[in-house]
Amino acid sequence: MRYRILGGTGIEVSTHCLGTMMFGSAGNPDHDDSIRIIHTALDQGINFIDTADMYSAGESEEIVGKALQGRRDDVVLSTKVHFPMGEGPNRSGNSRRWIMRAVEASLKRLRTDWIDLYQIHRPDHRTDIEETLSALTDLVRQGKIRAFGSSAFPAHETVEAYHVARQRGLYRFRTEQPPYNILARGIEGDVLPTAQRLGMGVLTYSPLGWGFLTGRYRKGQVDLSQGRAARAPERFDPSIPVNAAKLEVVEELVKLADELGRTLPELAVAFVVSHPAVTSVILGPRTMEQLEGLLKGASLVLDDTVLDRIDELVPPGTDVYPPVALWSPAPLTDPALRRRPPGDRSAS
């Protein structure tokens, strides 16, 4: 396993990061099995684990905490804050009030005294970014976190946060965690170049494109009655043009993987690793078999000829489908932010 420096922090992390979203009630409810998967990943050289407080309502953090007993010093541990963790107001978002409460709860579930990377899971337009950065800076100074980053932030908000940190003498985001895969390359035009210019580490998620790059979903073979396809048919129904487009690309990618003597998942993960802005790619297995299958491709190097063929199928900077980020810019969700008052909508 190769190791890369995480966003100028001096912390070395494995090029593969173990994502734990599928551990707990949302995926694998067997704690012992999930712990075995975590230990196998560590034994294979992965030293970077990513979780979040909202994964299975805290259960994922609890599983990770149990798995790391006696091995904590060998692991770079990352978690996140933002999404609701209970009913009522002030139990979500990026306010100082919530961050200070949420980090204590995460530390308890993770059974640790510190978090190596604490990430803001999504932007929060109700909260001034200075408020968020100030709270995170205090947590670094208190020793409860070592560094902090963002997740699914658009490039312009990353730049804004960078300048606010400089102007106010605060610590800055050291990392960004965006969705990125062969079918969703839009961030190559702004998010990834911005991260490079600002010296940020990038840990990407969804390398298998919500399952489409596993090879399980092929033309004429999509079963909408079970699994992910049953839970979210709008993302898999082949009668929907965007899904049909994904299936067309997958057919060509399967051929390419076969020519290389590799599986489609191995090809997909190797593609993400090859981008110079990417520090680590998050693998999110639910089973031991899935983890072992992904790790088989760790040594795969894609040469320029292969990358050129992928570029022909999905041009750089384009999305075959809009990646799921669970967040939309406020001007797209609140009409008042994109409409002038009625009396001020004419040119004369």
DSSP state of 64: H
DSSP assignments along 152-165, one per residue: S--HHHHHHHHHHH
Catalytic member of 3, 55, 118, 171: 55
Encode burial over 66-104: b for 16+ CB neighbours within 10 A, e otherwise.
Answer: bbbeeeeeebbbbbbbbbebeeeeeebbbbeebbeebbe
Name the nearest CA neighbour of 47 among 59, 39, 56. 39
* 55 flagged as catalytic: yes
Round to whole Å and give the CA distance between 215 and 222.
Answer: 11
Round to whole Å and give the CA distance between 65 and 249.
Answer: 40
Name the nearest CA neighbour of 249 among 185, 158, 345, 325. 185
The overall longest dimension of the chain from CA atoms, in Å, is 72
Reading the block at residue 279, the tokens are 């520090």
Encode burial over 132-144: b for 16+ CB neighbours within 10 A, e otherwise.
Answer: bbbbbbbbeeeeb
Name the nearest CA neighbour of 243 among 219, 260, 275, 270. 219
Reading the block at residue 113, the tokens are 């005294």
Round to whole Å and give the CA distance between 169 and 276.
Answer: 29
Catalytic residue annotation:
55
